[in-house]
Amino acid sequence: MPNLENLKKQAKQYLRWHRERYYPVAAKIRATLPRFRHLSDEQVLNANFKLADAQELVARESGFGGWQALKSGAHTMTDETGQTVPRPILNSTEAQLFVADIKASCDFYTDKLGFTVAFVYGEPPYYGQVTRDHARLNLRVVGEPVFAGDIREREHLLSASLSVATTDEIKQLFLSYQATGVPFHQTLKKEPWGARTFIVSDPDGNLILFASPAD
């Protein structure tokens, strides 16, 4: 675990990002602090967010109920180096997709794939996030090709892998995407290990795998 001074600096960084209206921090605040959970990104950035809130955010991210609990825990781990520290738990993962145009990408994911825009950041926009249920995809503008030639298509290099709970859901999802004219790199098929999958190709050639559990 980082020492207390580094945690204090992290809290001040969150506070500064909030004051600068850095959109990615709004999603972090909403996901971590219960009193902000019902607010949109815009409302989170407009809300009163104090150093104490930023410290609570850091504490909760570190697995503590509040800043005082974190301070006690940090001091304990500093003073009693022989004590066993619980293993950190990873809460989530987010794919990062490289795109040429944020608006075009957001339009594709919302109009074709049923996602919603969580935030768009920058002037002009160069970073954003789209979400659907528990899936989150980050979009980052890159002005040059990321892959050489057609290696991505030839090697079927995936940019993200998303899953549903049942075989019926993957079939329903595939048919709904087919009806909206989504371009497929691979149509629905049953894999040798029993899972059913299909792969969507977005406007920038990112390959998004959708999969169900094995039968």
Token look-up 């959109």 returns: 23
pLDDT at residue 93, as a whole number: 81
Kindly report the CATH number that applies to the domain delimited by 95-211: 3.10.180.10
**Which of 24-33, 151-160, 204-213 is the most confident on average?**
204-213
Strands (E), the chain: 95-99, 116-121, 127-132, 135-141, 160-163, 184-190, 196-201, 207-211
- Rounded to whole angstroms, the Cα distance separating 103 from 61 reads 31
Q: Estimate to the nearest angstrom the gap between the alpha carbon of 165 and the chain centroid.
A: 19
Of 28-37, 107-116, 203-212, minimum mean pLDDT range? 28-37
- pTM of this prediction? 0.63
DSSP per-residue letters across 81-113:
TTSPPPPP------EEEEES-HHHHHHHHHHTT
pLDDT band at 84 (very low <50, low <70, confident <90, very high): low
90/208: higher pLDDT: 208
* Per-residue pLDDT tens over the stretch 117-135: 999 988 889 999 999 998 9
**Which of 3-12, 30-39, 71-80, 199-208 is the most confident on average?**
199-208
- The domains of the chain are located at 4-79, 95-211
For residue 79, pLDDT beyond 50 = no
